[in-house]
Amino acid sequence: EGCDGSGSKLFHAAHTLLMVLYRRDSRRSYCPPNHWLIKEIRISSFMNDLEKGKKTTQLLLAKMPHIIPHSERVQLFRKYVTNEKTVARSY
């Protein structure tokens, strides 16, 4: 990233474009099924990275959740809820 924050501006512009394309494809499909998914992602590694607090993994999940299959996002959510319950009980 440059001193002027150009890396951040570039990321924001690329993310905005990606989301415009994704939303348009969601309304009127022009891409093949599952085009937006990252097929190489291993949910166990992704979960471990989230638990370790890796910023890139958190950013991916927050900004582009559609790249992870719905069933696996549900698993992530359930695990998160379970972890939150465990933390709440310990107080």
Report H helices in 1-91. 6-27, 43-51, 55-63, 70-89
How is the chain split into domains, by residue range?
1-33, 37-91
Closest by CA to 57, choosing from 69, 71, 39, 43, is: 43
- The answer to whether the beta carbons of residues 50 and 72 sit under 8 Å apart is no
Q: Taking the complete model, does pTM exceed 0.85, yes or no?
A: no
pLDDT tens by residue, 40-80 = 888 788 888 988 999 999 998 899 999 988 888 898 889 88
- The answer to whether the beta carbons of residues 34 and 61 sit under 8 Å apart is no
Whether residue 33 is predicted with pLDDT greater than 50 in this model: the reply is yes
**Contact residues for 36 (Cβ-Cβ < 8 A; gap 6+):** 22, 25, 66, 67
